[in-house]
Amino acid sequence: MEDEVKKQNLERMEKEGVKFVHLQFTDIHGAIKSVTIPIHKLAESFEKGTWFDGSSIEGFTRICESDMYLKPDPSTAALLPWEPDKRVARYICDVFTPDGSPFEGDPRYILKRALAEAERMGFKYNVGPELEFFLFKPNSSGGTNPIVHDSASYFDFSPRDLADNIRSDIADALEVLGLEVEMSHHEVAPGQQEIDFRYDDALTQADRAISFKHAAKSIAFKHGLFASFMPKPIFGVNGSGMHVHQSLYDIKKHTNAFYDPHDNYKLSKVAKSFIAGQLKYIRQISLVTAPTINSYKRLVPGYEAPVYICWAQINRSALIRIPKCSPGREQAIRAELRCPDPSCNPYLAFAVMLAAGLAGIKEGLLPPDPVEEDVYEFDSVKLHEYNIETLPASLGEAIAEFRRSNLAKEAVGDHFFKVYLAAKEKEYDEYRLQVTEWEIRKYLEST
């Protein structure tokens, strides 16, 4: 079957007149990396892989063990619609060592390993990420200061929403890349956008999230703008999140394992244990779901930021929300984790989220009672009364939680745990040494 798919791929590339192929993968932070091969090398890449220098990619290998190989996944074949003249194709790749073994530091492999554990337990992990982003205008010198593209707000329509045609172009590009777009709209903040695509298995969705960011940035550039997935680019307005809807599919029963028609919330015991696991371990995995210094400028009380570790149905101030399903669609029940942001590596984020949820099932955990009040209005006394903790308040706090987490270490593996932790510690140290404009204004004359 796999050989037939590869053959069909090669025939399609010839029919489409493709000249070059981008072989894409991600580094530990989720940045897209790529090597380009001429089309006549694609068949060889399918069979033997394409060599690249792994020591040049942060978190991969040392100079003395730098030889690595990319193997394109035939199911990810796509033409890049913003490069019509060159007829360029794109494949997302898995990374291998010279002996043919999957590279344990490859984020895509880490997610595959987590999904294999779910499958051993009888489940398939389905997700629906909602990536928010900003469109900015370059400044007068062509730089990238955050100058918003419009002054519109939530669900505004033209003429206030100047990005309607840009979102349409991005949506068209996504359809060519194989994503089924369900909705696009202007978000809360000026210049902020959202485009949602169809729910599916976590590996497919991680690939799509990478494709989505690539398409948004490429199309925005053609419009003279730049798309940013920075969590909090502008002081005083809502940041960008990547809320993730999740459920487990029961492989044997062919049903949504989260659904129980007899429960008040329509949630099964499996679903409640999954939720309990994520609530228990969320602080330990925040370094992956909210991985940057800037992530914690978004994760502060106010601006609808989900910082309180609790769950609910209607209440959007809770960390995990259970969206109500319309009559006749109760089987679509899911749990929405609201703290991840679009700066994360989606392969890693889904892997640790799944690990936390599965741990809840293995440990037989049950969540506390849901909190349907507006937690944003709680003072410290009421938070203590409800036993509600908060997410880490800084990257440094998230690093400390990650460092002592056995769950995180098992989810990403020893190699990745060490290199990721070292990279984040370096990032935090660089930040702590900076003297910011705010400090100059605040202290230079007053001290």
Of residues 84, 77, 85, the one with CA closest to residue 11: 77
The Cα 116–Cα 126 span in angstroms is: 13
14 in catalytic set: no
- From residue 267, give the alpha-carbon distance in Å to each of 134, 201, 261, 331: 35, 20, 8, 10
Q: Which of 29, 108, 243, 321 is catalytic?
A: 243
441 in catalytic set: no
Phi then psi dihedrals of residue 321, to 5 deg = -115, 145
Q: Which of 27, 106, 132, 161 is catalytic?
A: 132
Terminal C-alpha separation, the chain: 72
The Cα 255–Cα 1 span in angstroms is: 27
Residue listed under structure tokens 């590869």: 6
Residue listed under structure tokens 């910082």: 307
106 in catalytic set: no
H/E stretch holding 195 reads strand 192-197
DSSP-derived pairing of the beta strands 318-321 and 308-312: parallel
2 in catalytic set: no
Q: Which amino acid is at 421?
A: L
Of residues 56, 22, 25, 26, the one with CA closest to residue 37: 22
53 in catalytic set: yes
185 in catalytic set: no
Bond into 159 cis (ω within 30) = yes
Q: Which of 169, 196, 207, 336 is catalytic?
A: 336
Q: Which of 3, 11, 53, 369 is catalytic?
A: 53
119 in catalytic set: no
Q: Which of 156, 164, 194, 341 is catalytic?
A: 194
Q: Which of 150, 156, 338, 401 is catalytic?
A: 338
Q: Which of 27, 106, 130, 207 is catalytic?
A: 130
Where helices occur in 177-267 by DSSP H, the ranges are: 202-222
- Is the separation of the CB atoms in 164 and 155 below 8 Å? no
- Is the separation of the CB atoms in 169 and 225 below 8 Å? no
The Cα 258–Cα 239 span in angstroms is: 30
User: What's CA 303's distance to the chain center, in Å?
Assistant: 21
Q: Which of 316, 389, 403, 410 is catalytic?
A: 316
Q: Which two tokens stand for residue 101?
A: 């073994």
Where helices occur in 240-345 by DSSP H, the ranges are: 269-289, 295-298
- Is the separation of the CB atoms in 108 and 347 below 8 Å? yes
316 in catalytic set: yes
H/E stretch holding 5 reads helix 2-16
132 in catalytic set: yes
Please tell me whether residue 53 adopts helix, strand or coil conformation. Answer: strand
Q: Which two tokens stand for residue 191?
A: 């210049």
Q: Which two tokens stand for residue 67?
A: 């030889």
Q: Name the residues annotated as catalytic.
A: 53, 130, 132, 187, 194, 243, 316, 336, 338
